[in-house]
Amino acid sequence: MSAVVVVGAQWGDEGKGKVIDFLSEQADVVVRHQGGNNAGHTVVVNDQEFKLHLVPSGILYPDTLCVIANGVVIDPKVLLEELAYLNNRGVDTRRLRISSKAHVVMPYHAKLDAVNEDRRGDQKIGTTLRGIGPAYMDKAARVGIRIGDLLHPEEFRERLARVLEEKNHILSRAYGVEPFAFDDLYTTFLDYGQALKPYVADTAIIINDAIDRGERVLFEGAQGTMLDIDHGTYPFVTSSHPSAGGASIGAGVGPTKIDRVYGVAKAYTTRVGDGPFPTELTDAVGDDIRERGHEYGTTTGRARRVGWLDAVVLRHAVRINGLSGLAVTRLDVLDGLKELKIATAYEYEGRPLTEFPDSAWVFRDAQPVYETLPGWDESIGTIRRLEDLPTNAKNYLKRIEAVVGVPVVLVSVGRERSSTIPLRELF
Ligand code: GDP
Ligand code: IMO
Ligand code: MG
């Protein structure tokens, strides 16, 4: 097995960073292929916490090549800060490669993100305000600036002049916001280009060559299936394709080269940002899970909305991604709860609904149909073998497999790299 994609099966923050770090021990190459620094991936090794936004979570292994591929949108300032942060903590980042085709998140994108959200009022998406949507809009509108452009002063000058004129027009005329000065942006981003130059490469060649040599390549999804611009809860989604197909386009790797896709899911559900969430718990049980799980966003610090596990969402993730299995994280957070619920279907206008509806308003008004299972009293954080888990924890996992329809391939019982129970060979 040489190419494995890991995606979020819910609304992001499932613990992809932790799972990728765990699998990276066996990987030769780890690739980020979509999203930008809206992502926040946490890795904990020997009590040391690393928060990564753009750099792949394989970076903590000294021999793993890490790639930021064409499908990612890069804020160069954030990336350079992240590299400095890693270097200061003793992590060697020279094994990073950045696609010349990745689009650049410019300061006017973040500004537009903010004014767009303001204008939406109570229909706001609750974006991370990192400029991600506007950067992907410019990519699709064919006025984006790519990392490679920053290395060509004359071409960059021309492209920036053209696009900035339009952005300043919109910002000042429509929103009364101060326009951006061309010279400042131009020189700052030329400097960023020079700082990133040693890392810039044609990453599709690097990744395909690695696969052809039989090396193990791991694709690190950001966000989650329910935030996919096509397959998620549109319009409350991000502007990229967090589902597995995004790896193919976002890295320039044909679908025939991908061997396995794993979905990461929490043992319950969270969502940060606005939009429908059928199994949301707005009561004391939800507050309890939020506090015991420290459910506050890695990127924005916002409190995450918390709810029961939703098997309808997970079956949708299985279908859209072609999941080979599930990695279930944060099982330890449920320790001590008397009972656990799994939504196995919804009800809409008195009728049963077994699959994720293709209509946003049906999903908004769908009521979960729950199955209740007994919890366990023990603390499971130090357990390293499936057979040592409490019977009710094992039964909960078995029930997840039955209602979702794919095997659980890994269980995570804590933040540490070592708090992981792999259930089969994953590569
Ligand atoms: P990602 O965006 O999918 O990489 O996830 P985040 O890093 O944003 O959020 C997941 C959080 O859960 C992080 O703080 C992780 O350290 C933590 N985490 C991951 N797996 C587990 C687990 O099994 N148990 C507990 N208690 N925390 C976990
Ligand atoms: P990781 O990779 C959770 C959410 C935002 C908002 C919506 C759109 O850490 O799982 P955007 O800034 O992308 O335009 O915001 O998507 N969102 C995430 N939620 N985890 C993430 O990334 C997210 N990235 C974006 O909260 O609802
Ligand atoms: Mg996150």
Place of tokens 């019977």: 391
> What is the per-residue pLDDT across 159-196, written as a single tens digit (0 to 9) for each?
999 999 999 999 999 999 999 999 999 999 999 999 99
What is the per-residue DSSP string for 122-169? GG-----SSSHHHHHHHHHTT---BGGGGG-HHHHHHHHHHHHHHHHH
* Cα separation, 311 vs 404, whole angstroms: 6
Query: Which DSSP category does 170 fall into?
Result: I
CA 224-294-267 angle, 5° bins: 50
Per-residue pLDDT tens over the stretch 121-145: 999 999 999 999 999 999 999 999 9
Q: Of 375, 377, 395, nearest to 386 (Cα)?
A: 395
Residues 355-403: tens digit of each pLDDT? 999 999 999 999 999 999 999 999 999 999 999 999 999 999 999 999 9
> How many Cβ atoms sit within 10 Å of the Cβ of residue 282?
11
Closest atom of ligand 2 to 129 CA is: 12
When pLDDT is cut at 50, 70 and 90, the band that residue 1 belongs to is low
List the domains of the chain with CATH numbers. Answer: 3-92+202-422 (3.90.170.10), 103-199 (1.10.300.10)
| 79 contacts 51 by C-beta, under 8 angstroms | no
User: Residue 241 catalytic?
Assistant: no
- Looking at the predicted structure, is the pLDDT value of residue 51 above 80? yes
What ligand has the least distance to the C-alpha of 329? 1
Residue 301 in this model has a pLDDT that exceeds 90: no
Distance CA 99, CA 200 (A): 6
Percentage of the residues of the chain whose pLDDT score is greater than 90: 97
Sign of CA dihedral 189, 195, 198, 199: negative
pLDDT reported for residue 294: 94
Q: Among candidates 271, 268, 308, 264, which has minimal Cα distance to 408?
A: 264
pLDDT tens-digit profile of 306-331?
A: 999 999 999 999 999 999 999 999 99
The contacts of residue 393 (CB under 8 Å, 6+ apart) are 331, 376, 380
Rounded-to-integer distance, Cα 52 and Cα 223, Å: 13
Average pLDDT over residues 4-20: 98
pLDDT of 41 over the 80 cut: yes
- pTM for this one? 0.97
Closest CA to 341 of 316, 367, 378, 365: 367
Cβ of residue 204 lying under 6 Å from some atom of ligand 1: no
Spell out which residues line ligand 2, taking CB within 6 angstroms: 8, 11-13, 38-41, 125-128, 130, 132-133, 222-224, 227, 238-239, 272-273, 298
Helix (H, G, I), strand (E, B) or coil at 236: coil
Mean predicted lDDT score pLDDT of the chain: 97
Output phi, psi for 98, to 5 deg.
-125, 135
In this prediction, residues 328-356 reach a mean pLDDT of 97
The encoded tokens of residue 157 equal 């000058």
| Whole-number Å distance between alpha carbons of 111 and 129 | 8
**pLDDT at res. 300:** 81
Name the DSSP class of 181.
Answer: P
For residue 411, report the distance from its CA to the centre of ligand 3, in Å: 18
Give me ligand 3 centre to Cα 11, in Å.
Answer: 10
